[in-house]
Structures are given as structure tokens and as C-alpha cells.
Amino acid sequence: MTGPAVAPTVSGSVLDRFAERCRTAPGRPAVEYAGRQLTYAELDAAAERVTRRLTVDDVAGSVVALCVDRSFNLPVGVLGILRAGAAYLPLDPGYPPPRLDFMLRDSGAGLLITQRDLADRFPVPEGTRVLLLDAAPSGEPGPAPAATAGAENLAYVMYTSGSTGTPKGVAMGHGPLVNLIDWQCAASDCGEGARTLQFSAFSFDASFQEMFSTWAAGGCLVLVDEDVRRDPHRLLAHIDDHHVERVFMPFVALQALANAAVNQGRYPRALREVITAGEQLFVTPALRRFFGALPEARLENQYGPSETHIVTALRLGPDPGQWPGLPSIGRAIDGARIDVVGEDGGSLPAGESGEIAIAGPVVAHGYLGRPGPTAERFVPDPLGPPGSRRYLTGDHGRTEPDGLVHFLGRGDGQVKIRGHRVELGEVEAAVKALPGPADAAVVVHGEPGAGRRLVAYVLTGASGELPADARARLAETLPEYMVPVAVIAMDAFPTTPSGKTDRAALAALPLRISGTGTGEGHDSVEQAVTGLWESVLGAEHVGPDDNFFQLGGTSLLAAVLTTRLHEELGVRADLETLIQQPTVAALADWIRRRPATDTSGLRATPR
């Protein structure tokens, strides 16, 4: 066991910390976007205007959905909802409309806050009122209510992938978040007024940590547009140009940022604290070079599922050359207790591996409207006071005598893809819903990082064939990170001795994504680009008209490709370049037209 035997009492709401800063430093910048800043007083006033519009509907104690872009609308909307005594439900406008529709209906949200250009993005359930932040209020606003939320009230509902094919909404109270923010402020190397990047997806719980740990310390939240956020090269420039001092990033995004920095020889000198969570941290040569060039910056590895938020942390030492290749997840934060338990639920001694269980004032209420799954994972805490619970994570780990916790992976169908939690069962359910498959198995191919991708293997039914647009159909219901890069038909699945599908054998199969090419490119530039695509995508037979993204390319693989383009061809490109020139032929033509590019000596990369 690691952490306190008796959990501390947590009181108040996350708004208390923000309100204190509004009182003590009203003129200090609280949020920055597109060259403009809002002070704490201005952000507070903007949020109050939203709250007054909400009090007409008496939303206190309910769930209010929020679907906005990465602008001032995001922090203003979150604060306005919380001040009204409601919990916010973040809806990512990039998600497929059916998924957004499900989240709205399942959460029971009676009110959706959005903006004009997103209002028609998805159907709104009957009875759900829509409030446009960028439209003039209709009618008289209600009175400004006093903040009444306490530790037990809901703060947000965030949906995670579900093993049965149905996403689950994690209902998180103010108490665990107050505990997290208070610990984060005490533990951070960033002082008063530090500038923090708002990088995380709004539907990812780290976005809350970015916002409220910044405001609790009187800092400034630096917003970034989605197209910049997804491009490591432009993101690096944004962090450097805007003097960002702290970032929160999953490993795969941090690795892409480090590669971009090494590739450009540009290091953001203001950076003081980098916090990574969401997936296993691997210390790569690029990370060592990145932090070696930034001796004032520190790297911290944090761990915590959505059902508790962050519960452990490890601050790595000042010399990147001495970092272990696979760091531990650290020790319990204030208030959290980490147990490693056996199959009988009993605590295991240090050194023995088992399931990680989390207790203390860090545990969420459960899954919204899902009493069965809640009872299965949120169980009575035998070591806590009467009525207390602990969360069984499904993660495997072990502890050391000094309380250090090591993460050892999963024993079920849950994986991490680019920092997102994915239940393979949910992806399989979507694949099985396509016309054609009689059965499906989804596995992960590739090494940790940008190359980690989902692949669906299917047994075809009576029709004997799959729809040619299988991936496009899956993208209509699944978020982009959950869409397999390939859907591959098989005559039979490999099986274990017990007759079950052998998923390990499927994952070990060589993955070759095939394009439409039948021969060499027509010149050295096209041949070189083709070779790079095949290497980065793990593809074969890539032709001049094949589309990088349709072959399974992602924004992070695009970052790998742009780095390789610079290293091997001397060409500087970014994500926007690939979006505008998505085919081999188009990109090759773009390279030929670059005035500083000497294409005479280009050679195709070995495939």
C-alpha cells in the first residue's frame, strides 16, 4: 500500500480557487488567444454572463453539454456552467455526429451550449434547449447565483470507450478535483503567474487539469487552434513564441514535439515543466536530446484513469542521460492511496504484481446511469472508513517498499492510442455492424508512439466480401483515433489451445497496408516520396494517386513523415503541407516547385 492510511477531508469546489484569484489579482491575465488576453476580472465577468443566461432554466444539479471551438468560448463556457451549479459535458466538435448524439441522450443533458458555426454539426434530441454563446440573449437573464457547489456535487461528465460497444460517462465530483488541483499547485515548479498551454482535447480529463491548476496559481492559460495543436512543428513554434512555461501532453505527442525540436534545432527556452500522462512513458533518444537542451525544464510522469484523474507522479532527475528507459509511475499524490491487490481483493506485499486499486478522496461517483458497471469497478474499500469506496483499475502493477509504483500493462481489451483510452470491444462492435463481417477481432499493431495503430481482422459472412469504404463507414460512428488503419478479411482466425481467438497471433502478423501502385515513380522525387510513405506507413505498392490519410496516416505519423522529409530530402514541410498535398504525386510536385530544393541527387528510400 502507498499513500495515507486515513484520507484527508476535502471541502469546497474548484470554483473557490478561481474566485480567490479573481479577488486577489483581478488585473492579471487569465487566458490568451489569438493575440488577445482576458484578465481574471474579464474572464469572471464573461462567465457570469453565461451563468445568468443559465439560471433562467434552473440548471443547478443537472448536466449541461458544451460544444465549442478552442477559443475564449471554452473557458468561459466551462466556468459559466460550473458557476450555475451544474456539471459540464464536453462534446468534441470533431467527433462523428452519431457519437455526439449518443452522449447528449445518454447524459440526459437538457441544455446544449454551443456556437453558430457548430450548431448544425449534429442532431439535437427533442426537448434539449440550445444556447448560442455568440448570439444575443433572448429575454431577461436570471439573477447571478452564489456559487453553491460542494465537494460532493458533480463537476463534469466525460465519456470513455466502453468494452460492450457503448461509451460510459464518468461522473466526477468537485472533491477529487479540488484534491488534485491543491496537490498540483503545491508540487509544481512553476510559480505564480506561469503560462500553461491548453493542449489537451476538451473531452480529455487533462483539459480540466490544465485550466484549473493554472487559474488556482494565478497563471495564464494559452489557447491554441486545433490545426496548430495537431502539427508538432507549428506547435513547437507556438510554445516558443508565446513563452509557454508548462505543458501537459501524452507521450506520443511529447515524442512528436521532441522530434520536431531536434529536427529544427529549436528549443522553447521558457519551458520549465512538462507533464506527461495518459499512456506509458518511454524515454527515447529524442526526449533525452530535447531535455538535455533545456536544463531548466523538468519532466514529470503522472498516472491516473478517468475514474480518479491523476493519482501518482514521478519527477525525473535533472540529467536526462540518467533516466531509465521505462520510468515508474511514481508515488501516490496527497490524499490518494494505491493498493496492488490479488484476485481475492486482498492487498499484496511490495514486489508482487496484481491489479492497481485506488482509494481516498480521489474516486469519481461512478458511471452516469450505469449502476451495474459502477458496482463492478467501484467497490467498498476494506481499508477505509464506512461507506468509502475504491476503484479497481484493471491495470496491472507492483509497488516497492518505499511506495514507488510500477505500471505493468493491462490484462483485458483496453489499450491506449495516442493518449486516448480505447476498449477494443467497442471498435469490434462497430466493425461487426458493417455489412459483410460474420465476426471481427481488433488488435494493436506497432511500437508505442506514433506507430501504434488499430487493425481489424474480419471473417466475412455469406456475402463473402467487405464494403470497399469500410473505414469511411467506421469513421461515421467512431472518433478518428478509434478507426482501424486497415480492415483485413481472413478465412479463419488463429486460435489458442482452448479454441479462443488468438489475438496475440493476430497482432504478430506482419501488417502491410497496400496502395494502388504497380511500378516505380516516374522520377527520383516521386520515387523518394513513395519510399518514405511506404516506410512511415508500413505500406507497400503505394502509387502516385494514393492518399496519405486514407492509407492510415495520422497527424502524428505526418509529423514523422515531415521529419524524414527534412532529414533525407532536405525539405521542410508541416501538417498543412500534407493536408494540401495528400497524394504522392501532389507532394512530389510541391517538392519540385520548392526553389531551394535540389532534386537531382534524390534517391528512393529503401523499402
Tens of pLDDT, residues 127-176: 899 999 988 776 556 566 665 678 889 999 999 887 667 889 999 999 99
- pLDDT reading at 600 higher than 90: no
**Fold classification of 524-592 (topology level):** 1.10.1200
Alpha-carbon distance of 249 to 257, in angstroms, equals 10
Sequential DSSP letters for 6-25? SPPP--S-HHHHHHHHHHH-
**Chain-wide mean pLDDT for the chain?**
88
What is the pLDDT, as a whole number, of residue 556?
79
Q: Classify residue 153 as left (phi > 0), alpha (psi -120 to 50) or beta.
A: beta
Alpha-carbon distance of 439 to 455, in angstroms, equals 14
What is the pLDDT, as a whole number, of residue 338?
96
* Strand 273-276, strand 354-359: pairing: unpaired
pLDDT above 90 covers a percentage of the chain that reads 55
pLDDT bucket at 521, cuts 50 / 70 / 90? low
- Which of 45, 53, 55, 54 lies closest to 76, judged by CA? 45
- pLDDT reading at 9 higher than 80: no
What is the pLDDT, as a whole number, of residue 88?
98
138: cell is 433572448
The angle that helices 14-24 and 40-54 make with each other, rounded to 10 degrees, is 130
More confident residue, 311 or 526: 311
Could you state, in order of their start, the residue ranges of all structural domains in the chain?
A: 337-395, 414-511, 524-592
Neighbours of 515 (CB within 10 A): 21
569: burial class by Cβ within 10 Å (0-12, 13-18, 19+)? buried
What is the pLDDT, as a whole number, of residue 7?
54
Alpha-carbon distance of 459 to 495, in angstroms, equals 13
More confident residue, 339 or 546: 339
**Tens-digit pLDDT profile for residues 441-468:** 899 887 666 567 899 999 876 666 788 8
What is residue 567's three-state secondary structure? Answer: helix
Determine which of 1-5, 413-417, 555-559 has the lowest per-residue pLDDT on average: 1-5
The angle that helices 14-24 and 73-83 make with each other, rounded to 10 degrees, is 110
pLDDT above 70 covers a percentage of the chain that reads 91
535: cell is 516506410
Question: What is the mean predicted confidence (pLDDT) over 200-229?
Answer: 95
Are 460 and 466 contacting, i.e. CB atoms less than 8 angstroms apart? yes
CATH, domain 414-511, list 1.10.1040.10, 3.30.465.10, 3.40.50.170, 3.30.300.30: 3.30.300.30
Chain mean position to CA 487? 24
Same fold, 337-395 and 414-511: no
The DSSP secondary-structure symbol of 205 reads: T
Cα angle value 466/471/477 (rounded, 5°):
115
The angle that helices 232-241 and 555-569 make with each other, rounded to 10 degrees, is 90
Does domain 337-395 sit in CATH 2.30.38.10?
yes
Q: How many residues are listed for the chain in this entry? A: 607
320: cell is 536526462
What is residue 536's three-state secondary structure? Answer: helix
The angle that helices 251-264 and 555-569 make with each other, rounded to 10 degrees, is 20
